[in-house]
Amino acid sequence: MKTILSCEFKLECNRFLGERTTRSDFEKRICLFGEEAVRKHYIGAKVEIPSFLDVIDPLPDYEIRPLFDLNAQPGPPVAKEVYDLAVETMLSGIREVKEQAEKRGEDPGAAPAALLLALHGAMVAEGHEDAEGDFLETVRAAVGPDCPIFVTFDLHVNMTKKKAANATALFPIEFYPHTDFYENGLKAAHLLIDTLEGRVHPAMAIRELPLLFPTLPTGHESFLPFREKISRLNEVPGILTARFTHGFFAADVKEGGGATLVITDGDLPKAQVLADELAEEIYEKRRSFFRETLSPEDAVREAKRLLESGTHCPIVLAEVNDNPGSGSTMDVPSLLRVLIQENVPSMFSALYDPESVEKAYETGIDAEAEFELGGKFRPELTGGPVHARGKVLAFSDGEYRNEGPFLHGVIHRFGKAALIAVGNVQIILCSIRVQPADRAALHLFGLRPETCPVVAVKSAVHYRASYEPVAGKILEVETPGLGPIDPRALTYKNAPKTMYPLQGLDQ
Ligand SMILES: [Zn+2]
């Protein structure tokens, strides 16, 4: 029996947030140790760890052991003690497998047979700007140069030379919204087994671009030709995977731009040529990836116009910059203020505001109270809270599973949550930040967004997976959030000033 060790260790780091991501932040999402706990967590979910299990569990000659799972909401750099705990858990898992091999009289140098890891790729930890690069370097030293290390990444991986140098093969996902975690994980797991069995020989090339790529759906018209080209490349015999990764500019790191990656079966020069060609074609079109968004006032005006002219419900207003999925505070009330002022029949998903949640619970169902909604963080930019009289409609423990293709079946937690109505505006208030990208967030309160004129959602791109099938129209709204979709909105300490488009779009 050959043992493959696995783990998930994920945080998308937004360095423009203060403080650090601690163990208690991971506990709000996923903080699990031991194979049994990890396996139990993923029953019914379609993401990487279940994909690894689905491929390897049925194989008679292999076993896979997920050692731990640490996954937090995007936030500031990971606390040193959490990073060190992840490293130590991985290293002790490796030591244990080696000892077991030795006891059986086998070569401990050949154990574990491989590592199959699910990482994000845009993690910064205290003392580690390229956290996954350092993590991979440490585990590579522990398993030796011949042990295959296969890693799945997010599309927003900050591709670095260190990550590439310390892994055998990297598998970033392909799509944004991220609907292919499971399929991409299946591919990585199958190719790992093929590699262990000597059927393929991965040869990987990357090409980093001096391009801070904006937060852009892969289905956007500007990117569509490249999406189609990448899909075609993935079908070519001898090409094991081809990707363009976006990087995550809010991580503010030295290597954090877009990058191409090509893995061929044994042909490194060909992989490099293909990676270079794709990178150059994308860089050539760099200006086209940047787009305009609407002010809250213009967005609400346009939504009304669309509804009056017969566009069907709902008009979705996406607050793309106050996306907790990019580390923003989820409490910017700029759009909410306009919806309330105009008394637009609408649903608001969702506002992070633990104080207002408590106020709702004190007030009780069907009773009314004065609320100070959102705007607690950085009031100088957001205009502070919205003062409004609201009626409390419902309470919830805030736990739901995504129903659409993005993170399908994965548990999401609002924490203690309440639904209130201010006039025609129904607002979900939550006490844990989580990207409410799926309509399931509204279903939690019995709300049916399909029949509501306007639905506001704090999400940059992932909401499209759930809302595009039902939306009459989607409008992107510009509000002052800490997870901007345009890299020019931030002032960088570490990203090189020469990165496009920091000197302007015509650079
Ligand atoms: Zn991502």
Cα separation, 211 vs 161, in Å, equals 16
Q: Are 214 and 487 in contact (CB under 8 A)?
A: yes
How far away, in angstroms, is 178 Cα from ligand 1 center? 7
pLDDT in the model for residue 18: 79
How far away, in angstroms, is 74 Cα from ligand 1 center? 10
Cα 155 off chain centre by? 8
Q: Are 385 and 355 in contact (CB under 8 A)?
A: no
pLDDT in the model for residue 326: 87
Q: Are 339 and 449 in contact (CB under 8 A)?
A: no
Could you list which residues have their CB under 5 Å from ion ligand 1?
Answer: 154, 156
How far away, in angstroms, is 442 Cα from ligand 1 center? 23
pLDDT in the model for residue 17: 85
How far away, in angstroms, is 304 Cα from ligand 1 center? 32
How far away, in angstroms, is 455 Cα from ligand 1 center? 23
How far away, in angstroms, is 243 Cα from ligand 1 center? 14
How far away, in angstroms, is 311 Cα from ligand 1 center? 31
How far away, in angstroms, is 493 Cα from ligand 1 center? 22
How is the beta sheet containing 30-33 ordered, strand by strand? 30-33, 62-71, 2-10, 114-119, 149-153, 169-172
Cα separation, 80 vs 57, in Å, equals 34
How far away, in angstroms, is 37 Cα from ligand 1 center? 25
Instruction: Look at residues 250, 314, 294 and name the one whose alpha carbon lies nearest to residue 456.
Output: 314
Angle among Cα 374, 376, 379 to the nearest 5 degrees reads: 105
pLDDT in the model for residue 412: 95
Q: Are 406 and 437 in contact (CB under 8 A)?
A: yes
How far away, in angstroms, is 245 Cα from ligand 1 center? 10
Q: How far is CA 367 from CA 190, 363, 386, 420, in A?
A: 56, 6, 19, 10
Cα 139 off chain centre by? 24
CATH architecture type of domain 2-289: 3-Layer(aba) Sandwich (3.40)
Q: Which residue has the tokens 């945080």?
A: 11
Q: How far is CA 348 from CA 301, 368, 377, 449, in A?
A: 17, 18, 19, 10
Residue partners of 187: CB distance under 8 A and separation at least 6: 171, 241
List Cβ<8 Å contacts ≥24 apart for 84-93.
Answer: 85/23, 86/7, 86/9, 86/135, 87/135, 87/138, 87/139, 89/7, 89/33, 90/5, 90/7, 90/135, 90/138, 90/139, 90/142, 91/138, 91/139, 91/142, 93/5, 93/7, 93/65, 93/67
Q: Which residue has the tokens 């399909």?
A: 450
Q: Are 458 and 349 in contact (CB under 8 A)?
A: yes
Cα separation, 325 vs 501, in Å, equals 23
Cα separation, 159 vs 164, in Å, equals 8
How far away, in angstroms, is 461 Cα from ligand 1 center? 9
How far away, in angstroms, is 155 Cα from ligand 1 center? 5
Q: How far is CA 445 from CA 76, 186, 312, in A?
A: 31, 34, 23
How far away, in angstroms, is 406 Cα from ligand 1 center? 11
Cα separation, 497 vs 477, in Å, equals 28
How far away, in angstroms, is 152 Cα from ligand 1 center? 12
How far away, in angstroms, is 9 Cα from ligand 1 center? 14
In the chain, domain spans: 2-289, 296-485
How far away, in angstroms, is 462 Cα from ligand 1 center? 9
How far away, in angstroms, is 444 Cα from ligand 1 center? 24
How far away, in angstroms, is 1 Cα from ligand 1 center? 35
How far away, in angstroms, is 177 Cα from ligand 1 center? 8
Q: Are 245 and 201 in contact (CB under 8 A)?
A: no
How far away, in angstroms, is 463 Cα from ligand 1 center? 13
Tens-level pLDDT at each residue, the chain (507 residues): 999 999 999 999 999 987 899 999 999 999 999 999 999 999 989 999 999 999 999 999 999 999 999 999 999 999 999 999 999 999 999 999 999 999 999 999 999 999 999 999 999 999 999 999 999 999 999 999 999 999 999 999 999 999 999 999 999 999 999 999 999 999 999 999 999 999 999 999 999 999 999 999 999 999 999 999 999 999 999 999 999 999 999 999 999 999 999 999 999 999 999 999 999 999 999 999 999 999 999 999 999 999 999 999 999 999 999 999 988 999 999 999 999 999 999 999 999 999 999 999 999 999 999 999 999 998 998 899 999 999 999 999 999 999 999 999 999 999 999 999 999 999 999 999 999 999 999 999 999 999 999 999 999 999 999 999 999 999 999 999 988 999 999 999 999 999 999 999 988
Cα 461 off chain centre by? 10
Strands 411-413, 399-401: pairing kind:
antiparallel
Q: Are 271 and 264 in contact (CB under 8 A)?
A: yes
pLDDT in the model for residue 482: 87
How far away, in angstroms, is 19 Cα from ligand 1 center? 22
How far away, in angstroms, is 325 Cα from ligand 1 center? 8
DSSP string over 253-317: -SS-S-EEEEEEES-HHHHHHHHHHHHHHHHHTGGGG----B-HHHHHHHHHHHHHTTPPSPEEE
Cα separation, 28 vs 253, in Å, equals 26
How far away, in angstroms, is 176 Cα from ligand 1 center? 7
Identity of the residue numbered 306: L
How far away, in angstroms, is 117 Cα from ligand 1 center? 17
How far away, in angstroms, is 244 Cα from ligand 1 center? 13
